[in-house]
Amino acid sequence: MFSTSTQRRHWTFSTSDPVILKNIRLETYNEYVNHFGEILEKQPENTRFFLTYEEEQHLVSVYERQMSKFCKGFHPPLPSNVIGSAFHYYKRFYLNNSVMNYHPKDIYPTCVFLGCKIEEYNLSIDEFVLNFEEKHRQRMVELIINNELVIICSIKFHLTIHNPYRPIKGLLIDLEMKRPDLIKTPFDQVMPLVMEFLEKVFFTDVIFFYAPSQIALAAILHAVSKNGMTIDSYVSSNLIAKDKLPTVIEAIRGIRHIVRHVKFKTTPEQIGLIEAKLDKCRNQENNIDSDSYRKPMEIEESLEDDDSFDS
């Protein structure tokens, strides 16, 4: 149950403190800058290469959309729960990690693969990387294997995700049983709008503030209203107890307001400038293509070979 889950206890925050996530992210950002600022103290000209906090968050948003595009084009098609769980892992990861420490392009594929495993959508890693260009597949295998435990540790081993998709199915079945008189449009015409709403949800911080059932209800209310239907009487008379109704209404309004105001504008030029800056200030020890990453692994492999020879 969501009410007793790690998602509720550790990853859901009070709407009364709307800046709490920004404060956590700022702390994460400052930890990176302070740590590597000390290392670069003797080379002050290098400190200007750090991303700003705003550039970091912009890049996180860029790769949220890249992950969504990747999931939509995935073959075989990914179940909704896999996609939802992947977004939860990705967004949790970047609460506690800087993009200068771990590049989002390396993290989001691992989040999707982890979502497949946890949601029991059985794909081998070799099958998974078929969704990348052939020249990148071996690199992606190595990257996913190396980043999987990093992500799991960063999200505190809290892998079970309560997504809004199951509540949506339950609510629509309940609506059909209790108030068929309110259904003016077939559900197969409603669902595309529901899914579109949920896609926008994952581009926001809604999942950190509201329960999956509240998000599901907000998505349905949005979709049916777009189809000229109203199910307010079902919600107030058949679904929610009167003493809890004001709280639920406030939550639904909050969710729909946030989603309605999702705006993200960028250009290839803007992304290119941030990416170029990131290449200079990122932690090369976590860059799979760098000498700093490769050298310790080569030394370790050499030592293993020596041990094997001695034996």
Range name among 38-42, 115-119, 223-227, 279-283 with the lowest pLDDT average: 38-42
In contact, 75 and 116? CB cutoff 8 Å = no
How large is the average pLDDT for residues 199-210? 97
- Give the DSSP letter string of 115-133: HHHHTT----HHHHGGGS-
3-state DSSP assignment of residue 254? helix
Instruction: Read off the tokens for 237.
Output: 């008379």
Is the model's pLDDT at 84 over the cut of 70? yes
In contact, 202 and 84? CB cutoff 8 Å = yes
Q: What is the pLDDT of residues 117-142, one digit of tens each?
A: 999 999 999 999 999 999 999 999 99
- Model confidence at 49, pLDDT cuts 50, 70, 90, reads confident
DSSP state of 98: -
- Model confidence at 201, pLDDT cuts 50, 70, 90, reads very high
| Rounded-to-10 torsion of CA 223, 227, 228, 233 | -40
- Model confidence at 307, pLDDT cuts 50, 70, 90, reads low
Instruction: Read off the tokens for 6.
Output: 């790690």
How large is the average pLDDT for residues 140-167? 97
Please tell me the pTM assigned to this model. Answer: 0.92
Single-letter amino acid, residue 195: M
Closest CA to 106 of 273, 283, 265: 283
How large is the average pLDDT for residues 232-257? 94
In contact, 54 and 25? CB cutoff 8 Å = no
In contact, 91 and 155? CB cutoff 8 Å = no
Query: In this predicted structure, what is the pLDDT of residue 43?
Result: 54
Closest CA to 82 of 114, 123, 115: 115
Note if the bond before 268 is cis, omega within 30 degrees: no
Single-letter amino acid, residue 199: E
Is the model's pLDDT at 304 over the cut of 60? no
How large is the average pLDDT for residues 20-34? 95
17-22: Cβ within 8 A, 24+ apart: 21/95, 21/205, 21/208
Quick one: residue 47, left, alpha or beta (phi over 0 = left, psi -120 to 50 = alpha)? alpha
Closest CA to 113 of 128, 94, 99: 128
What's the chain's Rg over C-alpha atoms? 22
Query: In this predicted structure, what is the pLDDT of residue 310?
Result: 57
Is the model's pLDDT at 38 over the cut of 60? yes
Query: In this predicted structure, what is the pLDDT of residue 162?
Result: 97
In this predicted model, which residue has the larger pLDDT, 212 or 304?
Answer: 212
Instruction: Read off the tokens for 76.
Output: 């075989």
Mean pLDDT across the chain? 91
Closest CA to 112 of 131, 85, 137, 139: 85
How large is the average pLDDT for residues 271-290? 91
